[in-house]
Amino acid sequence: MVNLKMFIDGEWKDAENQQTRLVYNPANGEIIAHAPEGTITDARAAIDAARKAFESGVWSGISAQERASYLLKIADKIDAYAEELTQLETMDNGKPLREAGFDVADAAACFRYYSGLITKPDGQTYHVADPMQAMVVREPVGVCGLIVPWNYPLLMSVWKIAPALAAGNTIVFKPSEVTPVTPKKLFEIFEEVGLPKGVANMVMGAGAVVGNEIASHPEVDMISFTGGTKTGKQIMKTAADTMKKVSLELGGKSPNIIFADADFETAVDYALFGIYAGSGQVCSAGSRILVEESLYDQFVARFVERARKIKVGPGNDPSTEMGPIVSAEHLEKILYYIELGKQEGATVACGGNRIVADGLEKGYFVEPTVFVNVEQKMRIVQEEIFGPVVVIQKFKDEEEAIKLANGTIYGLAGGVFTKDGAKGLRVIKKLRAGITWLNSYHPTYNEAPWGGYKQSGIGRSLGTFGLEEFQEIKQININLQVEPVGWFSN
């Protein structure tokens, strides 16, 4: 059990009123940490520190090459602490060590990617009327408020922090109150590499208090938020008062479309991975599987057969294939949706229960669950459950597949399985979603933009787009012939 602290202006701090919040291991319900329950005063201190650091130029004023060298050092430290970070992530979030290990490696790679990108050419020049020379430069936005969820405590943090720092911003970061352990280790790394004080600040605490202060404070220039769509809407409204730049990575209910001509075992395999990786607590989870009529029964039978065999257990057991749900509260939400599905008239084809046997009773475990006999209007089809619960629907033809796939408020991700490449691409082009895969599901790359259409968000993380989110664009026009314009006659 550890006492966590916040990191404000280069110092480790308790909440100003000394209040703390308990953090639990989702695999067994044990208390693993006391986290400071930050207040509005704490958030303001962090914002103040970030503002002063930004204005001083200690970060925005140094060369891109110098900032890149810090980012590379951070990446090296993440690699050096990979084993510890992996263990912490599994304890904090519950995910199996194998998944946590991928996240840690990806986090280091993300810092490396942005350390490279920031030193590459940017800006533009334009041929405009003589004697003017026009150019465009990119500048940091200023103080960026970064607010993240609990499903990838380390990686979601890094997806924001790496490009924000690369671009020369200073940051006020808030981890999820459910998973502050790995983010705290990340900030220890920032201290170790000697980031100038005030450049990276971390406050912990409730979203409605600390998060809301970050979203509303006039000295915060931008909010980059990852989390639920409902929270994202609230943040957008709050941020509107001070016209902050807003970047939102929100929820999803992503379709995975399986045509009858797909490679059968590949499609089943990826469909399982699409929903049960991360116990379904993945924004891009393939939580709606749409299967062509003629393949439907065969697909459901094979999918259920394999879903039943998934080994559910504590993340730190190397044989575990699917870990627990992140918290007791979220477990309740998932069980509520399973009951709702039954009430709506859908059929549970497998799973549907909390797992309380085999020493898992103190943790928050749910069986891999499949609903069939579902209708598009059901809430279990329309709403993000964010757990190991999938609905398998039937479609007649390409047109119906697209209609069903696009038939929710979300538009984050989608997969298509077929051996007919032209059909696959045709369908993908019709999907109203920002992230798509053909004959695959889930792979994510630091080089490629991540984000959603519709109510799945605004803006993109990762790639060049993810850097641009954290930059302002300035037009500079230079008069090469310095003489009066002569517009007025007097």
119 binds ligand NAD (CB under 6 A): no
457 binds ligand NAD (CB under 6 A): yes
Q: What are phi and psi of 31, to 5 degrees?
A: -75, 125
Among 10, 116, 196, 228, binds ligand NAD (CB under 6 A): 228
Among 90, 234, 256, 471, binds ligand NAD (CB under 6 A): 234
Shortest distance (Å) from residue 71 CB to ligand NAD = 21
Active site residue 144: no
Active site residue 283: yes
Give the residue with the Cβ less far from ligand NAD, 29 or 228.
Answer: 228
Among 92, 249, 292, 367, binds ligand NAD (CB under 6 A): 249
Shortest distance (Å) from residue 442 CB to ligand NAD = 12
Shortest distance (Å) from residue 247 CB to ligand NAD = 11
Shortest distance (Å) from residue 327 CB to ligand NAD = 9
435 binds ligand NAD (CB under 6 A): no
Give the residue with the Cβ less far from ligand NAD, 235 or 349.
Answer: 235
Among 37, 48, 99, 177, binds ligand NAD (CB under 6 A): 177
Yes or no: say if 212 and 242 are a contact pair by the CB < 8 Å rule: no
173 binds ligand NAD (CB under 6 A): no
Part in contact with ligand NAD (CB under 6 A); list of ranges 75-83, 117-125, 169-177, 304-312: 169-177
Among 8, 88, 117, 215, binds ligand NAD (CB under 6 A): 215
274 binds ligand NAD (CB under 6 A): no
Give the residue with the Cβ less far from ligand NAD, 311 or 333.
Answer: 333
Among 23, 167, 222, 250, binds ligand NAD (CB under 6 A): 250
208 binds ligand NAD (CB under 6 A): yes
Among 97, 147, 257, 389, binds ligand NAD (CB under 6 A): 147
Cα separation, 235 vs 223, in Å, equals 8
Which residue in 99, 144, 177, 283 is the catalytic one?
Answer: 283
According to CB under 6 A, which residues from 329 to 388 bind ligand NAD?
Answer: 384, 386
Q: What angle do CA 160, 163, 166 make, to 5 degrees?
A: 140
Catalytic residue list: 249, 283
Binding site for ligand NAD (CB under 6 A): 147-151, 156, 174, 176-177, 207-208, 211-212, 215, 226-228, 231, 234-235, 249-252, 283, 384, 386, 412, 450, 452, 457
